[in-house]
Structure 1
């Protein structure tokens, strides 16, 4: 019954399973990652494809009903990924959500939130989730890079964004706060996201957030 529920949920979802063996989809994901500014090399996508082949990673296109009849890549308005993980400290199963991206021209219409909620609904349902899943985790760039005017935060991040050719977020628009409004609670911050600035390799600080399932 649970697998049947997963199939029915997928059929009615805003998410479409990704196939990176398809050249059109591979090229479109690479294009979107370049716009995103992160994890945007062909070798990264090839590693993701290998992980999908071994069922350790699931990736999805964001395809709202209004464009679902269009061919690829026109209907592929963004993407998101998920992994089932076993936490080392307590052995609990969690769903980890990552790589959420919506094309800039399709933002502010609720697609990102709809994609996250779709994965949340599968947290306890195979094959993407697990019946014993206890929580959902994700990471987001620390909001201090958006909100804090200290030299090591917003001014520094503005330089990073410029080097990546991406838009510097306005104050009050951090992903960390966006996820908090969706019920995710920050647990800690760690150096996590690698960037190269002025020839120096740096790890940007990321917030680790969690939503506990009932």
Structure 2
């Protein structure tokens, strides 16, 4: 799947609103306070934020061409299919995950709209954002690791929580990132949630996050 990364301008009201709509579809981090915080981090040079775009040809409307005549030249429609960021900060602060010196950077805010999830768009976007880790202004030649965190796959296969997790998250993200070359170096409690189990029981839980990283390829 061919795609491009186009910087997001959160100072543009139309782009701000489009990102908010995509975050609502994502289900979290969609408040004005969160989007304003991201805009501040962009200004500080700590969040490199991109639209994940793809194109499709759009034939120009018009009459059918005469026999033997060339057809009309198609135009191209740019689709903002999702978004992704490469961050030089994390909350809570952790230099192993990301830091302002950009020796470690973390992939965050990664979301593709459901209608565009087929065809390898996600893996293409990951490869593109990884390629930016060693180049200013997004990264640094001194970058050693690209990191990320996701739900530990232990929950995905848990006999009690697993059915709920698989219903909400049909794909195991940790295994998907493993196929992209990321490895786990620590697991910590991170994500709070209230779940309704198969037996109807409601339970407040804290999911474990798998912190994963991939060594940056140097030329």
TM-score (norm 1): 0.76
1:6 matched residue in structure 2: none
1:87 to 95, 113, 123: 95
1:163 matched residue in structure 2: none
Secondary structure in 1 aligned to 2:190?
strand
Within-5 A mapping of 1:180-191:
180-191=178-189
2:66 matched residue in structure 1: none
The answer for unaligned runs of 5 or more in structure 2 is 58-74, 197-201
1:177 matched residue in structure 2: 175
Does structure 1 retain, via aligned residues, the 8 Å contact 2:103–2:144? yes
Distance 1:92 1:21, change over 3 A: closer
Q: CA deviation at 1:205?
A: 1.6
Q: How many residues align?
A: 187
The whole-number CA distance in structure 1 between the counterparts of 2:105 and 2:157 is 29
Distance 1:26 1:143, change over 3 A: same
The whole-number CA distance in structure 2 between the counterparts of 1:52 and 1:33 is 17
Within-5 A mapping of 1:17-28:
17-28=7-18
TM-score (norm 2): 0.75
2:28 to 30, 34, 38: 38
The answer for unaligned runs of 5 or more in structure 1 is 1-11, 159-166
The whole-number CA distance in structure 2 between the counterparts of 1:116 and 1:51 is 21
Structure in which a larger fraction of residues adopt helix:
1
1:103 matched residue in structure 2: 113
1:70 matched residue in structure 2: 77
1:113 to 123, 129, 133: 123
